[in-house]
Amino acid sequence: QFIAFASLFFILVSITTFCLETHEAFNTIINKTEQVINGTETVLQYEIETDPALTYVEGVCVVWFTFEFLIRVIFSPNKLEFIKNLLNIIDFVAILPFYLEVGLSGLSSKAAKDVLGFLRVVRFVRILRIFKLTRHFVGLRVLGHTLRASTNEFLLLIIFLALGVLIFATMIYYAERVGAQPNDPSASEHTQFKNIPIGFWWAVVTMTTLGYGDMYPRTWSGMLVGALCALAGVLTIAMPVPVIVNNFGMYYSLAMAKQKLPRKRKKHIPAAPQASSPTFSKTDLNLACNSTKGDICMGKDNQLMERNRS
């Protein structure tokens, strides 16, 4: 429990630090404008420097994650299965960029600066540490099992959505051409659907009932297509969703039932005596002598000798 609480604490601190690094209050813009060698031209260069306190906090979190990762690697009974685990890969990918960034920060070569800039862009992988919470929360594990068991339903949903997007993007493109003027063959003056690929975005937003409003039909025929697209999107999403909900309910009830079961202590079961040991013969003879038959106890020494011979 101590390791679980410590890991949870450092994960939350790391994610909080990651979010605060993007706030302008913790970023200082440094002017690094330098003149060219001939002195007739200046090149404006600006660099954003993050507050060192956040870097130190992130360093402490990375040290803990590194210690935890190494301990789990050392004591893992199966190293190959440990490497194949997705959560372990996420741990390694989230830790490595910090050490590379620290190692390259002192170099001044152009290649090192390019790599350093790339690593700063790849900082977003640190947010993947949130998936480590699945080790400590049952609900997240249930969600993972549900997504894994509902793969076919998700593929079916994507196929239905792709077919609808293709059909309605094509329909809205030609529907908006109905009211086009003769001197405007592309109909770019009165509609935003200039081609079919642009209509893909509108179809996705409409079928998922999101409706940003950045693109909308302006003709009566386009409005009719938009209404059909919205209705078809509701039906398309409503078909596979109940199966996914049922899978989640099944895994959740199983997880809750497993948690409510009483934990039994493991009782020590003594090993059975071997046939070649003298204890085996004495035990059988004692059990036999405790029985109601009196002739069994007759000649105990003879029975012991016969048993040892056998």
CATH class of 142-260: mainly alpha
Task: Identify the pLDDT of residue 14.
Answer: 87
Share of the chain above pLDDT 90, in %: 12
Asked if residue 270 has pLDDT above 80, the reply is: no
* Predicted confidence band of residue 34 (pLDDT cuts 50, 70, 90): low
* Predicted confidence band of residue 141 (pLDDT cuts 50, 70, 90): confident
* Predicted confidence band of residue 205 (pLDDT cuts 50, 70, 90): very high
Asked if residue 163 has pLDDT above 50, the reply is: yes
What does the domain layout of the chain look like in residue ranges?
1-136, 142-260
Task: Identify the pLDDT of residue 117.
Answer: 67
Task: Identify the pLDDT of residue 295.
Answer: 47
Do 8 and 16 meet the contact criterion of CB atoms below 8 Å apart?
A: no
Residue-wise pLDDT for 236-265, tens only, equals 888 888 888 898 888 888 888 887 777 666
* Predicted confidence band of residue 230 (pLDDT cuts 50, 70, 90): very high
Asked if residue 168 has pLDDT above 90, the reply is: yes
Residue-wise pLDDT for 277-289, tens only, equals 554 444 444 444 4
The mean pLDDT of the chain is 77
Residue-wise pLDDT for 43-95, tens only, equals 566 667 777 888 889 889 989 989 988 998 898 888 888 888 888 888 888 88
CATH fold for the domain made of 1-136: Four Helix Bundle (Hemerythrin (Met), subunit A) (1.20.120)
